Each structure stands twice: as C-alpha cells, then as structure tokens.
Amino acid sequence: MIITFMPSNKKQIANEGDNLLKTAQKANILIDGTCAGKGRCGKCKVRVTSGKISEPNDIEKTLLKGAEIGKGYRLACCVFIEDDMTVVLPEFNSSSSRKKKLTYLPKHFVPNGNIKKYFIEIESASLENQKNDVKRIIEALPDNGYRMGSSLIPKIHDLLKNNSKMTVTTNGRHIIALEKGDTTNSCYGIAFDIGTTTVVSMLWDLNEGKLIDIVAKTNPQNVFGADVISRILYSTESPQNLSMLKMKIRDCFNDTIDTFKKNHGIDENHIYDATVVGNTTMSHLFLGVSPENLARSPFTPVFCDPIDMTAKELALKMNPAANVHLLSNIAGHVGSDIVGVLLATEMTQLKGLNLVIDVGTNGEILLSQDGRIITCSTAAGPAFEGAEIFQGMRASRGAIERVKIEDGEVNIEVIEDEAPIGICGSGLIDALAQMLDTGILDYTGKLDTQEAAKEKGLADSLVSRLRKGKNGNEFVLAWGKTGDDVVITQKDIREVQLAKGAIYAGIKLMLNHIGAKAEDLQRIILAGAFGNYIKTESALKIGLFPNMKKDKVISVGNAAGAGACMALLSKDERKKAYAESQQVEHLELSTHPDFQTEYMNAMYFPE
Amino acid sequence: MIITFMPSNKKQIANEGDNLLKTAQKANILIDGTCAGKGRCGKCKVRVTSGKISEPNDIEKTLLKGAEIGKGYRLACCVFIEDDMTVVLPEFNSSSSRKKKLTYLPKHFVPNGNIKKYFIEIESASLENQKNDVKRIIEALPDNGYRMGSSLIPKIHDLLKNNSKMTVTTNGRHIIALEKGDTTNSCYGIAFDIGTTTVVSMLWDLNEGKLIDIVAKTNPQNVFGADVISRILYSTESPQNLSMLKMKIRDCFNDTIDTFKKNHGIDENHIYDATVVGNTTMSHLFLGVSPENLARSPFTPVFCDPIDMTAKELALKMNPAANVHLLSNIAGHVGSDIVGVLLATEMTQLKGLNLVIDVGTNGEILLSQDGRIITCSTAAGPAFEGAEIFQGMRASRGAIERVKIEDGEVNIEVIEDEAPIGICGSGLIDALAQMLDTGILDYTGKLDTQEAAKEKGLADSLVSRLRKGKNGNEFVLAWGKTGDDVVITQKDIREVQLAKGAIYAGIKLMLNHIGAKAEDLQRIILAGAFGNYIKTESALKIGLFPNMKKDKVISVGNAAGAGACMALLSKDERKKAYAESQQVEHLELSTHPDFQTEYMNAMYFPE
C-alpha cells in the first residue's frame, strides 16, 4: 500500500496494519509529537484526505475535537493502515528563526584556531635533491615539525604531476588536506549545538573568524519523544533504535551542511574543523553510545572526557580528515552544553555569587562563588518548550508569546501576528503571571471555577473565559473563529508548577550547599533562547527563580552554542573548556535528602 | 561462457574473445608468469582438457614443445576464449618451504613491545562514585595516563552490563580493545615482508615473544610482471591497475591471516600489532601510492618516513584498531626491507669494513665502515629467482639446486628428489661455476659449440650435451624422459652476467666512494633466503662478489623479515629502525659517471 504525504508528496510503501506514525518515520518524515506514539500528547495530528480509514479510537475521540474528526483529522499514532492513503501534514515551522540571532561571543574574545592553509611552491626533485615528495612538501611550509596525514599520501603523485604548487591545510602540526591550486580563501568550521528540541549549527569562516550563517533545525530525534528520558527508553529497546537515534543526528548535521553549501556555495571538503555540544544524553546518542544508565540512579555516563573523531569516522559531509571535537560532559545530566555555557558566560572569572540558568528542555543550573562553580540539573521537563501543555507549541508562527490582562480584557501577542493556534513558553509564563495577578489563579495553583470567580466579584469578561473542558477547568486565552480556542488548562498549570518548582528547588539546594543566601546573588544570567523571550517580571511573579531586582536578571542567548563557537575558534578555549569541566562540582539533586521538601515548597507560586 | 580451473574447480564467467590469463586473474587464480602476459616468458603454461580452442599461435609454437601442444598444453596469455573450457593448472608450489626457517633474530635481542593485555575488575558506579565508565575502566589499570580509543566507547555499556570484569588491550598508553572475559592469553602480532617475488609473514605470540608460524606466499602481483619495473609500468596505465596491485597485497595478507587462523585457531581480533617491510615500490603499492617516479631518474619516492595506519583503514583482518607500522624507506630503490636488514645484521655496530648483499629480485647492498653506512641498489633483476631464465624457476619441487661436473659427468641435486623440471638460482650459479671449471664456458660468457668443445678435447659425455636449440647454443643439464630436457642457454648465461655484473659493480663503486679496497673487507654477509642456498665457492667462481676467504662469507637468512620481527617485538628497535634509516648514505648508481665502465668490466667471469 502506498501512503502519500503532502505537501512534500513523499511516498512510502506500507503493509496493512502498519502504524501511520511509524510509516512516516520510515519515510523520514517529521511529524511533531512529544509522547513518542503513546497516544498521550495529541500532537501528531494529520489530515487524511483520501483512502479508507478506520473509525477514530477512544484516544482520538478524547484528544481531537468533533469538528476536527469530521474534517478528517486523526492522530497518526492511532491510525493503522488499511488502504492507500493521502495524508496532509500540519505546517511544521521549526523554531529556527528565534534561536538564530542569539549567539553572542564575549567582547574581548580573540580567535586562535588550529586550522591554517598555505599555498606553497614545492622544489623539484633532482639527482642532487633526491628527497621524497612528502619531505619536499613539508619543507615548503613556513614552520617545522609538520606530519603528513597518511591517507593523503596516495594523492600526492597526481597533485605534483606537471605542477609544483598546491594548498596545504594544517591542524596544529598535522597536515590534513592537500588541494590543487590556491584554495586558501576557503576555510570553514562548524559549531554544532545539539539541543533536545533544536539543533543549532553555526558556520564560521576560520580565516576571518567571522560567523557566516546559523541554521536551526528541529532535532529529528523528536519523533521518538520530546524529552531525554523518552529517547533513552526508546534507545534501550533495541540496538537498531540506538543506531536510529545516532543516524538522525548525523543526518541532521549533514542536512545542515547541505543548506550551508546551497546558501553559500562552499565546498564541503573545505570544512576542516567542528565542535559539538549537547546534554549528556545527546552526546551519547551522537556517538551511538547507550545512554541507558542516564535514566536511573546513579546516572552514570559511559564517558565524560572530550572526544575527537574524524568526519570520516562519523560519516559527516566535511573534509574526511576534519577533526570533530565533542566537548566534555560533567555528569549524567550536566552535559557539554553546560561546559559551553561556562565558556561563554566566563563564569569562572565572575566575582561574588552568580547564578546561570539554562532553561532548555532540561533545566541546568550553575552557581558561582568567586570562581568556585557548582552545578546541578533539574528534571524541569519540556513544559516551557510546549510539550505536556495541552495547546503548547514552540515559539513559532501562531504561538501566543505575550499575555497581558488589563481591566478584565485579555490582550495577546502572537508570533507573526497570525491567528493564535497555541501557546509557547514565554506566553505561558506571562499568562500564569497575569492570571495570578487577577486572582483567578491562587498561589497553590488552583484555577477558579466560574462560580468561584463570580463570587470573588471578578469582571464578567474574565469569568466568561473560565469553563469546564474535557480535561477539567480551563481558561480561554483566545477565542477561535471556528471553535479552535486557545486555552490554559488546570493540568497545564500543574505542569508549569512542576517545572518551575524543580528549577527553584535546585537553586535553593545549591545555595544551601555552599551556605549562601539568595539575597547575596549579584546577578541571574538566563542562558538559552528561551531566556531571551520571557518577561522577567512574569518569571519573578510565578517564582521561576529567587526574587531579584529586574535589572539584575540578564539574558545571554544561546550560551551553549556560543561556547561551542569559542571552542571551535580557539585552541585555548578548547583547553579551558576541559579544564573547567574538571573543576566544576556536581550536586546530585534526585537523591538529595532535602530535595523532596524543597521541591514541594517550590511548587507554590509566591504569595 | 564458463571457464573451470582445475584442480581447485573454481569457475569464472567469461565472454567470447576474453583472454584466458586475464580471466584467471579475475577469478583470483594465480598462474605463474614473469613477462606479464607479453608472450615472452612461456611460463603461463596450462593444459586445456575440454572445450573448443583455437590453433596455437606463433608464440606458443616457439615456446612450447610439439609434444606439449599435442597433449593440450597452451600458454594462457595466448588463448582467447571461444567456448566453455576446463583448464588444468600446473602444480604450483610456492617457494614457501625454503624461506620459512630462515628468520634469525640476534642472540641478545630482548622483546619490549607496545602491546599489553590486562584482565581487570572495574568498580561499580554509585552515588558516592559517580565517575563515568571510561574513567573507572582507566582507573582499574595498573598505571596512569591511559586514553580510551573513541571507537570502543559504544561497546562499553554492553560489556559492563551485569559484569564488572573485562580484558583491556593497550598499545603504549592507548586503549585499543575491550573484550569480555579473560583473553589475556591470546595476544598476537604479525611481521610482513613483502618481497617482489614472495611475501613472507611471521606470526608471533606477543606475550611470550615466541614465533608461532611463518607462511610464505608467492606475491600475487607476480601476474603483472616479475620485477618492480614491470609492476610500476602496469600501475601507471590506469588508476584501476594501481588499485588492483594494492588489493593483491592486501588480499595476500588476509589470506595469510586466514591460514594462521586455520592452523592455530586464533581469533583475528587478537592480532593487535603488525610491521611491514618491502622495497620502496612494494611499500608504495601496499598503500596504493603511485610508484611512477621510481621508474625514472631521479627515482623520487612519494614518501620515505614510517607510516602508521590502523588495520581498519587498511582493510586487514586484524583487530580494527591494530596499528600497522610500515618501516621507513631510504631511497627510491632502497626500501624498508633494507632497514630491516640493517636491524637484523646490527650493521651499525660492526667494526671495520663489512658488506651486506641482499640478493632478492633487486640486489641491494650495504657497506659499513665502523658504523658509517653506505647503500645502493643494483638493477640485478630477477634472474636468480628464475625469471628471464629459459627453464628458470623458484626453489621449489623439481628444481635443480646443485650441479657438480666431475670426470665429464653432470651430477645434479633436485629439490624433493623429483625428476628435474627446471633450475633455480643456486643451481644456476653452481652450473655456471662448473661449466667455467670444465672450460665449455669461457670468462667472456661464451658457451662452446659442440665443435669447439671437441677441438678442446673435452670428454664426449660433455660434448654431447652441447647443442643448438631454438634460442641458440645450449647445454643440457638433465636429460628428460619424454624429451623435457633441462638446459642452460647462451641467453641464460648472459642474464646471469648482467645480474652479477650489476651487483659486483655496485660493490666496487661503494668501496671507491669511501676510498676502501675489497681486500680490507672483514666479511660479506648474504641476506635473503637465496644467500643460504648458494654455494659460496660457486658464487666466488662466477664473481658475484669480491674474492674472499670462504669462511668470511656468512649467510643470515631472511634478514629483512627478521628486522620486521624485531620492530614488531620491540619499540626500541622500531625507533632505531627510523634513526638508522636517516643515517644511511645513499649512493645513486644509475647516474654514477663510473657506473657503465665498472658494469662492463664486472660482467666478465673472473679469469
């Protein structure tokens, strides 16, 4: 049976009884979803426009609206193929545009990379100069001590035939490429930041130390679950699954390189260096290393130290001898992305007490006290990335990103001024802060019923937005024209409480650990694209982090990615990254005796 | 059309008009031959037992006997396929048995290798010991500073599952293998000596420093020509040819490893180290590097320095992380085999004036004067290996290896006491020495006609052995029962003169170069299996090297192979090999102003 996926018109052969979501995965088609096909999240919504299809099951009846089912909408994870089908996928806008422009390197950063290219003229051999070709090439280089990469030796004869000039590329003292003619102008490197949700790739001109382009793509492992734990579980089911997760990242890198090639006309063989950061699970999956033990105490990684492999070994579309450097991890849930954050924030040099929070799909926290660094990871979960939130979505077109309730009126801002279709992290935090302000939400996280709100004497315009939905009480943020309202449910509020409670408890325990107090904090630095978009007042209102003066909360953008760039551009930073990763103290929260108590307390909103 | 090769019963599909020799090569079937299918040597003799076959051509009529043609014998290079055929190959006995037992290491040699295996128990991870797996493995090793091979990291999770013990293999400070259970007893290395004619492979137990087995196989590149120049020419015809020559050597190594596995029940993954020596052309072909420039002045090699590559990169059937170390070459025609000879003869430590001659397919010579080393290569050609000699063959079953003429009677010794079918190098030198003694051969190399011999009054039994053959005058060494006599032709004598003249002239020019005289030589060391079998008196008689007392001429067997073993077993020797290769002075003979004169003089036999 042939399944046609629109709008790409990709076709995939399937057997009767095959699951539609899995068939899409086989065809390498990305259908959003956060529960990995478990029928919980309701996000793998597709529209079947032709072909016989079974009756919707109970899950679909619960998670889809009646009108949607009428129009042919179904959950891909619930559909089992009976016939040829045409399936229309929802418009899938990666969260790229937002994350792009957020890579900031420290002002005084000086590139000092490993890669150099030389256009040289090689002496001819003669009976008086019987030196071999390799030796004559090496002697034509400006310094001494170079070693020829053994895989280049078979190329030399043809390069020197009727020709005495060539371009030599070196990585340190190692010759990694020999090219015809003068290609010294073309010298690139890529810093990759593997986020659980988004893979951000930064292309640099290594000659100029200049950023050429940033491409952000949805992490294609996403189809196997939104959070690291789902992916770990998926990877442990079979060696094929582990290998699949590895290939997804590799393909994502290679797709990105294709994009760079297309956009900038560069030759992939002129990409000579790369760095990679990611959380510990992403680092493991990138190398095809089982992350099984990261899902259970004592959360032991297989490896932490930096890994250097060639592009050839990793099957990446770069110069085969390009070195790909994966920065070191710190612990099971504090990965090389946090080492990148350390570099970019220059935290070890900060005076006094400072806090860095990276609110990605995981919530990692760094606390510095005059150069001493403590870190922990919190099981914040992907709520702020839209997962586990009924109408949650990433910060892309149609997402409510700002909410303001004034005089009983709900004002929203939607990305690209579209009709709202969901809510993203910053909108969610705004909404909750505003709902707390109006009083329809209390500090315990309980959403008023219509009756309770009426009793409190709240404005009718607000009261009318409270209603009982399929999944309990909900608050209508935006009325949809065809009944597709955007709402915040009681369950959504609980998810936010769990997430922010985890972060807050982590901060508290770290402060306790070094005997410091929140009041002593000099500043809070928000890393990650998300930090750039949340309104500090709202974050303070819901108690995402300790109370501070607003201007002491600073956003630094994608610091993990910036750190990867620094390690790409400077061998000193690469060394420093390892040294600092060794120096960081890791606090394990999950088994900390005070964790449960602090977590419970932190779940409430500040009164 | 299907061509069946007997006795192996291998079948190969061919098209009408395909050449039979090339079809055999496609089927990976080795048919002897020294002229690379040019129809000159007449050695690719096969018997066609079924199938339609064209009339013999002029070449076949010249090189085959009428009786042979009647029995179905044909030259594979002259046969073009017209129909299904069954082809019987001559019994092909590699020269292995002779070369096997000739690997001698210096008496006081102490193994000091790079490879160590440890069976270790690894601490469990716990919340108190959150160290990653790699770190805990490294800490379980007896010393510090080990680095984990990155390709091993994906294996660790499964190895440590329900298990805390494993075997770790290290090469220096680099961890190259992780294995389940205790495999410390099984630890092997191979020294390969790529001769132009024979590839000798020596399997060592690296734990015990014990030689397990030697396998000698005919170099399968042989089908593309017997000498290095033919192979260089073949390699330059197309990139495919170069690649074919590379694959032939790789396949030969892998076949040898299969033999080792079969004979000794070893696991190929337990072969962790290897060394390779060969002349410069063989070294280039082994890596797929074009040797084109080695065939013309100034004979520039592409590379000389040692090369280290992994077995994986070279597609060899060993542990993929095994290091394969190709020893350094000295010059275009003085290869790493001569560096091996240097190691094994410990020449740099010898007092006084000493000469080492390696009479392989090339003739390389080393001259030492109190530690100073000069080397040259001579274009001796493969005459002593049987090539270019009408009934020449390698030292295998049926070869005449000793000749003694007493009282007009010719007494021969044949390898394995068979009926003689040809003559090998030592037999050839004996024969010429004896023919010089009797007077039927004069010092200019001229063979008497029957008439001239009669005139001289030589015994009738000798005179009757002189006759006019297809290719000029010849001397019958052995009467065959069915007309297959073994003869020495005038042309054979000329070939020996060219070969021995080249060697003698090289020695002379080297002595002149340092202002020394042949009389001052302390000793002559003969390296190579051949040196073991030639009779010193005969070699002196024909003037292969300067006149010496017989007991000052010493045979040391396969010194190149012994040197490869030393470099395999000892990291100190590996370093020393490189240091000595840098210290050797190379004398280029081919363009030396005195070469032609010396060469002409040296072609005569001593009077």
Which ipTM score applies to this complex?
0.83
Confidence category of residue A92, pLDDT binned at 50, 70, 90: very low
CA-to-CA distance for A37 and A40, rounded, in angstroms? 8
Tens-place pLDDT, residues A129-146: 889 999 999 999 999 999
Among B151, B162, B305, the strongest candidate for a mutation testing the A interface, having the largest count of A CBs within 10 A, is: B305
- In degrees and rounded to multiples of 5, residue B553 shows phi and psi of -100, 115
Which residues of B fall within a CB distance of 8 Å from A307? 150, 153
pLDDT value at B129 more than 80: yes
Residues in Cβ contact with B130 at an 8 Å cutoff, skipping those fewer than 6 apart = A298, A299, A300, A331, A332, A586, A588
Q: What is the mean pLDDT of residues A14-42?
A: 77
- In degrees and rounded to multiples of 5, residue B502 shows phi and psi of -60, -45
CA-based nearest residue to A278, from A201, A174, A355: A201
pLDDT value at B383 more than 50: yes
Is B300:A125 a contact under the CB 8 Å cutoff? yes
Which residues of A fall within a CB distance of 8 Å from B135? 304-305
Is A353:A368 a contact under the CB 8 Å cutoff? yes
**Which residue do the tokens 């025609």 mark?**
B333
> Would the CB atoms of A297 and B133 count as touching at under 8 Å?
no
Share of chain A above pLDDT 90, in %: 68
- Of all residues in chain A, the one with the smallest CA distance to B288 is A154
Tens-place pLDDT, residues B22-31: 888 777 666 7
CA-to-CA distance for B169 and B158, rounded, in angstroms? 17
Query: Beta strand B45-50 with B85-88: parallel, antiparallel or unpaired?
Result: antiparallel
CA-based nearest residue to A590, from A367, A302, A293, A379: A379
Q: What is the pLDDT of residue B309?
A: 97
Q: What is the pLDDT of residue A429?
A: 95
Q: What is the mean pLDDT of residues A102-121?
A: 90
CA-to-CA distance for B162 and B180, rounded, in angstroms? 12
- Give the DSSP H/E element, type plus range, for residue A456: none
Q: What is the pLDDT of residue A93?
A: 43
Q: What is the pLDDT of residue A94?
A: 43
> Which of A218-227, B281-290, B330-339 shows the lowest per-residue confidence on average (mean pLDDT)?
A218-227
- In degrees and rounded to multiples of 5, residue A24 shows phi and psi of -65, -40
| Beta strand spans in B20-95 (E) | 45-50, 73-75, 85-88
Report the 10 Å Cβ neighbour count for A551: 8
Q: What is the pLDDT of residue B102?
A: 65
| Vertex A403: Cα angle to A390 and A502 (nearest 5) | 55
Among B123, B126, B130, B588, the strongest candidate for a mutation testing the A interface, having the largest count of A CBs within 10 A, is: B130
Residues in Cβ contact with B42 at an 8 Å cutoff, skipping those fewer than 6 apart = B59, B63, B64, B75
CA-to-CA distance for A324 and A313, rounded, in angstroms? 10
Scanning B238-327, the segments in alpha helix (DSSP H) are 239-264, 280-286, 311-314
CA-to-CA distance for B201 and B587, rounded, in angstroms? 30
The pair of structure tokens assigned to B189 is 């290395």
Which residues of A fall within a CB distance of 8 Å from B304? 132, 134-135
Confidence category of residue A23, pLDDT binned at 50, 70, 90: confident
Across the beta sheet with A399-406, what order do the strands follow?
A409-414, A399-406, A422-423
- Give the DSSP H/E element, type plus range, for residue B559: helix B559-569
Q: What is the pLDDT of residue A69?
A: 83
- In degrees and rounded to multiples of 5, residue A172 shows phi and psi of 65, -125
- In degrees and rounded to multiples of 5, residue A170 shows phi and psi of -120, 145
Environment class of A296 (CB within 10 Å of its CB; exposed 0-12, middle 13-18, buried 19+) = exposed
The pair of structure tokens assigned to B500 is 């021995």
Is A148:A138 a contact under the CB 8 Å cutoff? yes
Is A313:B310 a contact under the CB 8 Å cutoff? no
- In degrees and rounded to multiples of 5, residue A291 shows phi and psi of -95, 15
Amino acid at B431: A
Distance between B117 CA and the closest CA of chain A, angstroms: 22
Please state the length of chain B.
607
The pair of structure tokens assigned to B434 is 């004896």
Distance, CA of B323 to chain centre: 23
Across the beta sheet with A472-478, what order do the strands follow?
A466-469, A472-478, A486-489
Is A46:A19 a contact under the CB 8 Å cutoff? no
Cβ-Cβ contacts under 8 Å between A and B: the total is 122
Distance between B160 CA and the closest CA of chain A, angstroms: 10
Which residues of B fall within a CB distance of 8 Å from A127? 297-298, 588, 591
Report how far apart, in Å, the C-alpha atoms of A583 and of each of A234, A334, B22, B549, B605 are.
33, 13, 66, 73, 79
Distance between A588 CA and the closest CA of chain B, angstroms: 8
Computed on alpha carbons and rounded to an integer, the radius of gyration of chain A in Å comes to: 27
Q: Of residues B83 and B524, which shows the higher confidence score? A: B524
Tens-place pLDDT, residues B42-54: 778 888 888 888 7
Cis peptide bond upstream of B239, omega within 30: no
CA-to-CA distance for A427 and A412, rounded, in angstroms? 8
The pair of structure tokens assigned to A90 is 């929802």
Q: Whole-model pTM?
A: 0.84
Tell how many helices (H) and how many strands (E) occur in chain B.
20, 27
- Tell me the three-class secondary structure of A36-79, residue by residue: CCCCCCCCCEEEEEECCCCCCCHHHHHHCCHHHHHCCEEEHHHC
Report the 10 Å Cβ neighbour count for B224: 23
Distance between A291 CA and the closest CA of chain B, angstroms: 8
CA-based nearest residue to A605, from A437, A365, A380: A437
**Which residue do the tokens 């004036």 mark?**
B353
Mean model confidence pLDDT for chain B: 91
Classified as helix, coil or strand, A283 is helix
Quick one: CA torsion of A384, A385, A391, A397, rounded to 10 degrees?
Answer: 120
Amino acid at B90: P
Across the beta sheet with B85-88, what order do the strands follow?
B10-13, B2-6, B85-88, B45-50, B73-75
| Beta strand spans in B279-362 (E) | 307-310, 323-326, 353-359
Which residues of B fall within a CB distance of 8 Å from A328? none
The pair of structure tokens assigned to B292 is 């084109």
- In degrees and rounded to multiples of 5, residue A292 shows phi and psi of -50, -45
Instruction: Tell me the HSE value of B483 on the side-chain side, using a 13 A CA sphere.
Output: 6
Residues in Cβ contact with B355 at an 8 Å cutoff, skipping those fewer than 6 apart = B365, B366, B367, B368, B507, B521, B523, B524, B525, B545
Among A122, A123, A127, A281, the strongest candidate for a mutation testing the B interface, having the largest count of B CBs within 10 A, is: A127
Q: What is the pLDDT of residue A102?
A: 65
> Would the CB atoms of A133 and B307 count as touching at under 8 Å?
no
Tens-place pLDDT, residues A547-582: 999 899 998 989 999 999 999 999 999 999 999 999
The pair of structure tokens assigned to B453 is 């011999």
Classified as helix, coil or strand, A562 is helix
CA-based nearest residue to A309, from A317, A301, A320, A295: A320
Cα dihedral across residues B529, B533, B536, B538: positive or negative: negative
Q: What is the mean pLDDT of residues B165-170?
A: 98
